Amino acid sequence: MEITFSNAGIFLIFFTIAFILMDEYIAKPWRRARLERLAKTDPKVREALAVAARVAAREKGAETD
């Protein structure tokens, strides 16, 4: 198949959307689960998750206010 500006552009748009969806719905939950597992043994990971929880709570509070 000959590649042209149009079909290259369409492919890249699909690639971008697919990648964002993959990161949001597959990679992110997987990363989160992995970190929670690591947090049991690694204090640095535990601290990072604690900071993330604090920031999330703060952001949620700001939204509620």
Name the residues that contact another protein, by CB under 8 A: 2-5, 8, 11-12, 15-16, 19-20, 23-24, 31, 35, 44-45, 47-49, 51-52, 55, 58
Angle 33-34-35 from CA coordinates, rounded to 5°: 90
DSSP 3: -
Residue placing its CB nearer to another protein in the complex, 43 or 64: 43
Q: How far from chain centre, in Å, is Cα 20?
A: 9
Q: Compute the least distance from the CB of residue 63 to another protein, in Å.
A: 12
- The span from the CA of 34 to the CA of 13, in Å, is 30
Q: Compute the least distance from the CB of residue 41 to another protein, in Å.
A: 14
